[in-house]
Amino acid sequence: MKFNLTTDKGNYRIDFTLEGKRKRFYPGTQDEVTAKQLIKQMSFDYSPL
């Protein structure tokens, strides 16, 4: 699963594809480090075993 980190009106958002559908997650943060940590956790949670 590929995650893209972008900004929207000063806040970060995470775009990704889940089950063939594009999704957009707004974590509600303006901190890039926090947003990247969320991507790391999401990658771990959705990685195949």
Q: Give the pLDDT confidence of 10-45 residue by residue, as tens digits.
A: 999 999 998 899 999 999 999 999 999 999 999 998
Q: What is the reported pLDDT for 47?
A: 74
The total domain count for the chain is 1
State residue 28 phi and psi, 5-degree precision. 75, 35
The boundaries of the domain holding residue 12 are 3-45
The pTM of this model reads: 0.81
Work out the burial of residue 3: count CB atoms within 10 Å of its CB; fewer than 13 is exposed, 13-18 middle, 19 or more buried. middle
Nearest-angstrom CA–CA distance, 19 and 6:
21
Residue 48 has pLDDT above 80, yes or no: no
Question: Residue 17 forms beta bridges with which residues?
Answer: 22
